[in-house]
């Protein structure tokens, strides 16, 4: 349900929407105003608001370049291309992620090599397992910051540097989290962010690639717009008369209304994350003694996470479908983040022999509970009481 400045606009998106949805989006009047101004400006494709958003986001992350894109899948695709992934190359990726992380390797003609998670307490990629999977053909390693909790990018960076391999971060869940005072998404050659509808910083569809590497930035800027030597905005302002095409690129551009909405919403993102953390702490406190349930990560980890979702893991003895149906019958929506990528039909067809016991265990037992910044204590009580009752 979308609410604007306390009002509900239209009907719920789905007639049978639950009382307590998995996520909920709130926009403020200032967001609407920003989009309205963009719409009224008469310039809708990439223009001044994109430039403004990119500078603001680069400053926010503390990196040299932030390049707005149509979505995070595009960011991953361009990140892999920019670090040189091509046919015959391998990229070590987590299987506990959304399929975009590995699909983008396939778009480049490369081969995704799936690595294990640490375990039930930490669903991030396991550094030792990554090290074991590196071969002469490995071009890059991708770390995904699951639910906004930092993957071990400090150690991965050392590993990658020692082996002459690029580190790419899938930071789709972590727009403003840090490890050792450095923002996630700025540890490797490229950090890829998502502004998809249910993300911590969302605009519907949108993405961004962050980098400190000038050559990566230049290639990504070129590839996002068909390898053209000038954009429409340059030509509109008379900065370029015509253009050449110097690379085989794509249309991965973002537009002005989205940049305006992002600029407006990003002013509140750290407050939103602080509210998410408060709710996650509330979950942890309330679910502490519940049997047959594991809450991954520690209380301290919560302070370092952007708390995108609230993951839990059931014991093998619990029937997950029944458990989820029980919550659904009480008006509580849940999800599974994630089914293991290597177990999807398309991937089984390509790579039938992949076996990752820890990832498969997590994928089989994971349940994601509702989490959004304005979730009330009453809603939290209802979810946690229902979980305890069903277990
Ligand atoms: C971990 C992860 N990577 C990549 C993506 C792809 O993001 P987008 O939908 O912006 O392409 C998502 C979004 O669902 C995601 O969760």
Q: What is the pLDDT of residues 15-40, one digit of tens each?
A: 446 799 999 999 999 999 999 999 99
Helix (H) or strand (E) holding 54: helix 48-61
Mean pLDDT is lowest, of 15-19, 150-154, 343-347, 349-353, for 15-19
d(CA 194, CA 202): 8
pLDDT in tens, 156-186: 999 999 999 999 999 999 999 999 999 999 9
Atom of ligand 1 nearest to the CA of 195: 10
Does 13 or 216 have the greater pLDDT score? Answer: 216
Taking alpha carbons only, the member of 202, 191, 217, 229 closest to residue 27 is 202
Close Cβ partners of 270 (under 8 Å, ≥ 6 residues apart): 176
* CB of 254 closer than 6 angstroms to any ligand 1 atom: no
What pLDDT, on a 0 to 100 scale, did the predictor assign at position 17? 62
Residue 155 φ then ψ, to 5°: -75, -35
Mutational test site, ligand 1, from 69, 100, 142, 177, max ligand atoms within 8 Å of CB:
100
d(CA 266, CA 121): 30
Mutational test site, ligand 1, from 76, 172, 203, 206, max ligand atoms within 8 Å of CB:
172
104 pLDDT band (50/70/90 cuts)? very high
233 pLDDT band (50/70/90 cuts)? confident
Beta bridge partners of 170: 144, 192
* CB of 196 closer than 6 angstroms to any ligand 1 atom: yes
- Predicted TM-score (pTM) of this structure: 0.95
Q: Token pair for residue 45?
A: 């494709």
Residue with tokens 């952007």: 306
Dihedral-angle region of residue 62 (phi above 0 means left; psi in -120 to 50 means alpha; beta otherwise) = left
């Amino acid at each position: 349900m979308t609410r604007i400045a306390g009002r509900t606009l239209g009907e719920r998106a789905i007639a049978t929407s639950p009382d307590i949805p998995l996520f909920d989006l709130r926009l403020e009047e200032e967001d609407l105003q920003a989009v309205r101004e963009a719409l009224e400006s008469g310039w809708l494709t990439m223009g001044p608001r994109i430039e403004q958003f990119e500078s603001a986001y680069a400053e926010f992350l503390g990196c040299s370049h932030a390049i707005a894109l149509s979505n995070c899948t595009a960011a991953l695709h361009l990140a892999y291309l920019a670090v040189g992934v091509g046919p015959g190359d391998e990229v070590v990726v987590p299987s506990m992620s959304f399929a975009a992380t590995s699909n983008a390797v396939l778009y480049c003609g490369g081969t995704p090599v799936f690595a294990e998670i640490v375990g039930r307490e930490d669903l991030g990629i396991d550094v030792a397992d990554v090290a074991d999977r590196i071969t002469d053909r490995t071009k890059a390693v991708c770390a995904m910051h699951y639910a906004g909790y930092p993957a071990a990018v400090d150690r991965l960076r050392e590993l990658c540097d020692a082996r002459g391999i690029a580190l790419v971060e899938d930071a789709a869940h972590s727009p403003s989290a840090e490890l050792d005072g450095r923002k996630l998404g700025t540890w490797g050659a490229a950090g890829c962010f998502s502004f998809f509808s249910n993300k911590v910083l969302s605009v519907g569809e949108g993405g961004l690639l962050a980098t400190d590497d000038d050559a990566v930035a230049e290639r990504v800027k070129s590839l996002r717009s068909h390898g053209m030597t000038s954009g429409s905005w340059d030509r509109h302002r008379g900065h370029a008369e015509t253009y050449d095409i110097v690379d085989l690129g794509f249309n991965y551009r973002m537009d002005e209304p989205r940049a305006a909405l992002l600029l407006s919403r990003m002013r509140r993102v750290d407050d939103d994350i602080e509210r998410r953390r408060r709710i996650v702490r509330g979950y942890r406190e309330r679910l502490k003694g519940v049997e047959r349930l594991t809450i991954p990560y520690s209380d301290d980890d919560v302070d370092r996470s952007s708390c995108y979702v609230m993951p839990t893991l059931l014991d093998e003895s619990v029937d997950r479908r029944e458990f989820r149906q029980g919550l659904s019958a009480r008006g509580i929506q849940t999800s599974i983040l994630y089914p293991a990528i290597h177990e999807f039909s398309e991937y089984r067809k390509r790579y039938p022999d992949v076996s990752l016991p820890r990832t498969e265990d997590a994928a089989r037992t994971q349940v994601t509970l509702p989490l959004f910044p304005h979730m009330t204590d009453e809603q939290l009580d209802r979810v946690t009481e229902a979980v305890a009752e069903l277990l």
